[in-house]
Structure 1
Amino acid sequence: MNAPQSTPQSTAAAVPHDIRVGVIGVGRMGADHVERISRRIKGARVSVVSDYLRERAETVAQAAPGARVVDTPEEVIAADDVDAVLIASPGQFHREQVLACIAAGKPVLCEKPLAMNPADAHDVVRAEHESGRASVSLGFMRRFDAGYGELKDALEAGELGTPLLLNCKHRNADVLPGFTNVHMVHDSAVHEIDAISFFLEETVVSVQTLTGRSTENAPEGLSDPMLLLLRTASGTLVTDELYVSTRSGYEVRTELVGSKATATIGQDTGLVTTQQAGGCWGGAVPADFRPRFAAAYDAEVQAWIAAVADGSLVAPRSATAWDGYVAAAVCEAAEQSLTVDGAVEVTMLERPGPEGARDEH
């Protein structure tokens, strides 16, 4: 499937003013983004806000001078005073909203997931390809974390040699009642699954889930902790240890074992070390993901705004629509592996384009 000859131009690329951002959904993440753009992001301002609870939208919009409130996502996307769209609505609405942004020719930063299943995610990939230009960024913010960036740089420079093992740990203090094993895959493990795309740039071919003794702190029916074992096309093994009822805080650690060296990130995040006579150590762990990745969120949104302003639309190292499809496909296999013995093969459609690539990111 070849891209059309004509290439739609971003409305933002032609304007000299600050990028005007329309925000769809202003719950916890959307409200954070409105505050972020209004206070810390250069070259942008929030111009239009929408939420299914209009009162909430009106309250959040007060943090963005000059922003107006509309009733529907469609109004945000069609607005003349919106150059780019940030989607932070519930995941079940993402497919249609991102497709509408593509049709309107407006660049979009969408919080994960891209869609609720691989088929719908691939619809977005195909629509973006047919539009003739990449314009979809997906909010896997860890790609913009300083530690993640340094590890990626070391890999690209060849300092670690051939990647052999990627060991990941993902820990939360607690989760909401009703959190299930399926949520463990789609809400927690999905971040490490995208880290495979980011660091290794290759396809996951199989995934296996291992469960054992659960903590008494876990919601009823949740296997916590849980271990995912993934294998890539080249044979690199990835482990993802998920433990979301620690009662101690939020921690993310990643270790890359290469043929030349081993590198670990996340060991000292949020920790304060004190040395005194006789020795003393103390530390603090953030309560949830927002303080842990606050700088990464800022960097992600700033990079997106810069890409919109210069016409490239998608920032370097940002997760793309294709990355969103890959994550959905691997999560589908991981969900299947919850109820079967052994590894489940990951099934993926081809990437649209002359190359028909299945494993490029």
Structure 2
Amino acid sequence: MEPAIQIKPGATKWDIRQKVWDYIEENNLANFPRPVHNRIPNFKGAFTACNKVSELQVFTKTSEVKVDPDKTLEGVRMAVLQVAISKPKHPKLYFSLNMSRVHFGGLAPKFNFFFSSCPLNLFLQGVKDFSVPVGLDAKVKVDLVVVGSVAVSEKGIRIGKGEGFADLEYGMMVSMGAVNEFTVVVTVVHDCQVVEIPDELRESHDLTVDYILTPTRVIKTNCQFPKPLGIIWTKLNTEKLLKIPILKKLIALEEKAGKDVTLGALPASPEEKVSEEGGSEALSQRKLPVSVTTVYLGGIPAGLRVSELKTALREREATPLRLTWQGAQHRAFLDYTDPQAAEQALEALQGLSLNGSSLQAELAKSQRGGKRSGQDRNRRPRPTAPKSQPAQPDTESAVDVVTEP
């Protein structure tokens, strides 16, 4: 079957995400929530695709199922619970909760009675009332894992929305002994989300899938790529550990067991973040090189978050020394070490589209005749952050982010 979305040679993961998100929006293939950009798309026909899980032999034999919390997968969660109601030895359903608080939760047996007599709109309330946390020391053996995807190939290579939560959760379950190389992984997507993904885009921490369920097909991938064998700590850094406390518990356990838990470095930056007196974190006037070259980025859509732009810059290997954010004017300025670095960034940013809007990247006006100094005379001086309010709106990387009105 010819893919509806054609992927050009040299495309990055971010390029593929944008293509899929744009296609789904342009063709009105999505249900709430919208727009689908930066989400696992809740596509029209998702329930039809989810119901195909009952056609899988592993589903009929499973005793414990882990399902991601995406809206798209609601039909899979319902299917598991319907079976749970009708069987004396019902399968257990595990589902993701907030990654910053807990690994994943499980439903206690009494939930089945609640579900059998409640309307669907009370489902989430039932989850809140009857679910119990599952810790890292829980004796869990999951037979089937169901995840959402932004794109997937018939070879089983999967691309998520870019946060890496599905990969992390699977890695943690490996560390718990809850899954192994024989555990079946399924994803549910629209037919248009099945695309050609270059093999070289798959990384060692990426979760691959064994089955793809769409509204029209059940695809067995016969995936030849291995699944992650646990958390690959070098892919994480201290900022990620601070965001997800459960990782701090896991790294302590693995270090105690004698495993290598060396973390990766933070993104390179010549600047440092310091803490002001009084305990509140603020930005000092970080030292920039004597001269920098600035790229203007225009057409930034309303509602775009700084973190989303930073993710796109990282994936295109165009991370700047400093990002000056002027969201109200739908623009940003990116400082690079020299003209060569700026030219490479310009090339990488051509064709960049975020949330359905095409961005324009070009040398800033003050740069078209050469470099500018570390503090541009043509733009207002960088504001000093008040001690109670850091000027950096998010801390996903060590890139210096300056916000201006």
Fold conserved (TM > 0.5)?
no
Which structure has the greater CA radius of gyration? 2
Structure (1 or 2) with the greater helix fraction: 1
Of the two structures, which has the highest relative contact order with CA contacts closer than 8 Å and spacing of 6 or more? 1
